[in-house]
Structure 1
């Protein structure tokens, strides 16, 4: 018997995660059944899947059509309310990304803060998935996806940088925080492999994209299923 049998081909649908960061969104899509490839302009040494360091829009234009689905999380700082205090100029390419995504003719998702110029997004919240945080994020999708019921916000949030007390939810934004805070934030987010404050603060809870990805996978199955005889 051959001691090194051939590896079975990977038949999972392929998803491209652009502006992937440390891979919070990627993990959710992986849990939903996708083979994930991440792309980010910055090195991501802790990213858990196949990774390419590249410009997101350039990679999308060149390779987007090679995938079964695409997710992109453009930089959110230009739309964040926090930018009202620092008056800096940040990248703003949601419109350019949308144009390129439409040309690929595959299902796609654009994620960002709820203040971003997304078209009819659904809004996901940590409370929808039993997480100890709210962390609202908008998702514009090329296929119809309905958000779960949005629970009433009954929990107070700890101040940024402070560990939550019993009955409190966690606030996760940037800053100079303790290692204990970073470890707790990673646990609450569901990203235990993240090693820096920036990695965890810029991540999306994988529960969000697991939900999105499960619906996308259903669309793909329905689209590719053979017609009944």
Structure 2
């Protein structure tokens, strides 16, 4: 295996960002030191995705090109596992298992992200949340990784949140960031709270993952790659 310092001498390490949406995780991986390529079936994401964007099927692209990357990240659509689906009763595909199978077939270090309700589908996931990174929002997300990952200290959920659609106040300094008919002022405030100021749509910011989560994961992925290279 090529030593990490050799990789960096020639190029920055590369991460493949599957189901990339508008690039919350992508920005964090970029901040950690990766070049990023995103893949999504939603071509509209290209208008705001901050890095190279490929319009296509995530798993098909992974099988064809995953070996070209140093790390593979995937955020399969979470609607199947969302508690809201108990009300709309729609049928959504289960993409976690097929995504994992493709990642393992490619043989690169990988990360799979999803919501808390998807915990039974994930293998020994690590939970990350906004206050771990000084963010004024509670946003639990689970991350299954093929390398060791520990979480920062999780501060108690003490500060109160505003109601969804309302701006934070001194009494309720944390934002609730979920979908709805919100104002442009709310959208801008939510994007700032998430650390995704380039995202300009309500749906985009509500579906995003704070870049701070990916920066934490990416830094540990780089350490893992370097350790494995030395051991080899």
TM surpasses 0.5: yes
> For this structure pair, what is the TM-score category when the shorter chain's length is used for normalisation?
over 0.9
Q: Does 1:219 align with 2:219?
A: no
CA distance in 2, matches of 1:114, 1:71: 18
CA distance in 2, matches of 1:17, 1:159: 32
Q: Does 1:201 align with 2:206?
A: yes
Give the Å deviation of 1:165. 1.2
CA distance in 2, matches of 1:164, 1:61: 44
Give the Å deviation of 1:167. 4.1
TM norm structure 1: 0.93
- SS of the counterpart of 1:132? coil
Q: Deviations over 1:54-90 (max 9, x none)?
A: 0111111111111100000000011011111111112
What is the match of residue 137 of structure 1? 141
Moved more, 16-25 or 91-100: 91-100
TM norm structure 2: 0.91
What is the match of residue 57 of structure 1? 59
CA distance in 1, matches of 2:22, 2:230: 34
Give the Å deviation of 1:223. 2.1
Using a 3 Å threshold, how does the CA distance of structure 1 residues 225 and 138 change in structure 2: closer, same or farther? same
Q: Does 1:148 align with 2:152?
A: yes
CA distance in 2, matches of 1:51, 1:137: 24
Q: Which one has a larger percent helix, Structure 1 or Structure 2?
A: 2
Q: Does 1:77 align with 2:79?
A: yes
What is the match of residue 129 of structure 2? 125
CA distance in 2, matches of 1:94, 1:187: 29
What is the match of residue 96 of structure 1? 98
Rg: which structure is higher? 1
What is the match of residue 28 of structure 1? 28
Q: Deviations over 1:131-189 (max 9, x none)?
A: 00010000000001111111111011111111111142111111111000000000000
What is the match of residue 114 of structure 1? 116
- Which residue, 44, 47, 50 being the options, matches 1:48? 50
- Which residue, 179, 185, 199 being the options, matches 1:180? 185
CA distance in 2, matches of 1:31, 1:108: 18
Moved more, 153-162 or 123-132: 153-162
CA distance in 2, matches of 1:226, 1:139: 25
- Which residue, 163, 167, 171 being the options, matches 1:163? 167
